[in-house]
Amino acid sequence: MRLLRYRLIVPMMRSRHSPEFTARGVMVGLIWAFTPTVGIQMLLVLGTWIVTRRLLKWDFSLVQGLAWTWVTNVFTALPVYYILFVTGQLMLGRWNDISGYDSFLVLFNASFTEGQSTWEQAKTVAAIVFLDWGLAMWIGSLPWAAVMGRVGYVFGLRFVKRYRHLRAERMARRMEMKSRKN
């Protein structure tokens, strides 16, 4: 928890940019975090940052965008992939092809053979994500990415504004106490 606070929350508090700039970074990071792209999400945020700055003249905090992709990581990827898969299956009308989480893990783990190198495992995961279950996960990621992006923007905006307001009040109280002493 301390590491998450240090990597995600503290940079929001220390940012010198507008609250909207920071909140947009949180939004972009969470949008990419809730797509089936674990492993390349940071590159996708960087690409989004380059394209939006150059072509659309729209800017966001790259640091926040990169950091908030860490919400989905090696440890949380399978549960998130499962949620995306089930959501996609439901959106595609495949009601009879929704396996439980345990079945999902068995299918996922069965895709790996013993003795595979890290590169072979990465290729297997990519094949699963983009070919086998890809359509369902990509379609299922659309509502999650949209909702989490919106939640991230609102959270980031409120958090930064509230923090800055409380900091200004604290500084005003200090100045008042200092002036009373003099």
pLDDT in tens, the chain (182 residues): 676 666 677 777 777 888 999 999 999 999 999 998 888 999 999 999 999 999 998 999 999 999 999 888 878 888 898 899 899 989 988 887 677 677 667 766 766 667 777 777 777 777 766 666 788 889 999 999 999 999 999 999 999 999 889 988 999 999 888 888 86
The predicted model scores a pTM of 0.77
Tell me if residue 180 falls in helix, strand or coil: helix
Question: DSSP label at 151?
Answer: H
Distance of CA 79 to the CA centre of its chain: 14
The pLDDT of residue 113: 67
C-alpha dihedral over 144, 7, 158, 65, to 10 degrees? -50
Distance of CA 124 to the CA centre of its chain: 23
The pLDDT of residue 52: 95
Distance separating alpha carbons of residues 86 and 99, to the nearest angstrom:
8
